[in-house]
């Protein structure tokens, strides 16, 4: 099973904390944020992980190395220019060996059964599966409308025009994409992965939503960073081997 962590962003909303440290290395509960994601992947049987790099990328590479300290194999996809979610995944495409890839945001702290997610994707023969959350401010995050059979009908208003009953969700930044959808993504150009998802929805492909019930936090602002730290201390989220992992990258 292949996975990719998006870690190329500038982290501007967390400045000055990110002036000298990339956001994925910010500690949460004494462990770099990106290591939480690596340990989650390892727990669910992932072995090969691609991490894209741009802002202060060498610091991430130096901290994580080849991944052997976590029982993983890490490959780095370096971006001289930030390529966005679409272009970044497209550049890393050769590493996926034509297999579906699980993509996580490097600035997200989450507790999710990735094994169940992977099985859901394959059982339903999905072109893509997006992990979604119920949120009262779903529209503020970017509204995802889900219809019958977990099929996504529209993302931020784009997709099918038919009026059908839907439930509102927000995209949690975790998704599985089949390589065939990457054919539409231009290489070497910044783009959003949402564009090929909308195109697939319009064609009638199965782009599905998978509801997340566990812990989730987007560490995008100083307030949410502080809340995540509090949540870890309160035991709302924990990972096995977290202390030993923190020691290995300290």
Helices 84-91 and 194-203, packing angle to 10 deg: 90
Please, what is the average pLDDT of the chain?
90
Tell me the per-residue pLDDT of 88-102, one tens digit each, with 9 for 90 and over: 999 999 999 889 999
Q: Please report, for the chain, the start and end positions of each structural domain, with discontinuous segments joined by +.
A: 2-236
Q: Is 235 exposed, middle or buried (0-12, 13-18, 19+ CB in 10 A)?
A: exposed
Fold of 2-236: Spore Coat Polysaccharide Biosynthesis Protein SpsA; Chain A (3.90.550)
Tell me the per-residue pLDDT of 189-209, one tens digit each, with 9 for 90 and over: 999 999 999 999 999 999 999
Reported in sequence order, the residue ranges of the chain that DSSP labels E, i.e. its strands, are 2-6, 27-28, 31-32, 48-53, 73-78, 101-105, 108-110, 128-133, 143-146, 152-155, 158-159, 167-177, 207-211, 216-218
Report the alpha-carbon distance of residue 59 to residue 20 in Å, rounded. Answer: 10
Handedness of CA 5, 25, 48, 54 (dihedral sign): positive
Mean pLDDT of 47-54: 95
DSSP H helices, the chain, are 33-43, 57-64, 84-91, 114-123, 138-141, 194-203, 222-233, 242-249
Decide: 24 and 106 in contact? Cβ < 8 Å: yes
Q: Is the pLDDT of residue 48 over 60?
A: yes
Query: pLDDT value at position 170?
Result: 92
Report the alpha-carbon distance of residue 150 to residue 64 in Å, rounded. Answer: 36
pLDDT band at 184 (very low <50, low <70, confident <90, very high): confident
Query: pLDDT value at position 11?
Result: 77
Report the alpha-carbon distance of residue 125 to residue 198 in Å, rounded. Answer: 17
The verdict on pTM exceeding 0.85 is yes
Query: pLDDT value at position 221?
Result: 87
């Amino acid at each position: 099973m292949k996975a990719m962590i998006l870690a190329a962003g500038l982290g501007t909303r967390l400045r000055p904390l990110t002036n000298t440290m990339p956001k994925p290395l910010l500690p949460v509960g004494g462990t770099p944020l990106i290591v939480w994601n690596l340990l989650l992947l390892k727990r669910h049987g992932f072995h090969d992980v691609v991490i894209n790099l741009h802002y202060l990328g060498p610091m991430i590479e130096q901290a994580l190395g080849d991944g052997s300290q976590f029982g993983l194999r890490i490959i780095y996809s370096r971006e001289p220019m930030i390529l966005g979610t679409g272009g970044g995944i497209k550049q890393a495409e050769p590493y996926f060996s034509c297999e579906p890839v699980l993509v996580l945001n490097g600035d997200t702290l989450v507790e999710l059964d990735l094994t169940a997610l992977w099985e859901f994707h394959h059982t339903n023969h999905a072109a893509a599966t997006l992990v979604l959350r119920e949120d009262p401010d779903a529209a503020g995050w970017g509204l995802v409308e889900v219809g019958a059979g977990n099929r996504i009908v529209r993302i931020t208003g784009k997709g099918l025009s038919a009026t059908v009953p839907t439930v509102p969700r927000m995209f949690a930044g975790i998704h599985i994409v089949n390589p065939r959808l990457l054919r539409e993504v231009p290489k070497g150009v910044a783009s959003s992965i949402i564009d090929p998802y909308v195109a697939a929805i319009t064609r009638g492909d199965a782009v599905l939503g998978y509801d997340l019930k566990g812990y989730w936090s987007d560490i995008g602002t100083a307030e949410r960073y502080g809340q995540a730290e509090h949540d870890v201390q309160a035991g709302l989220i924990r990972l096995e081997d977290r202390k030993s992992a923190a020691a290995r990258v300290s």
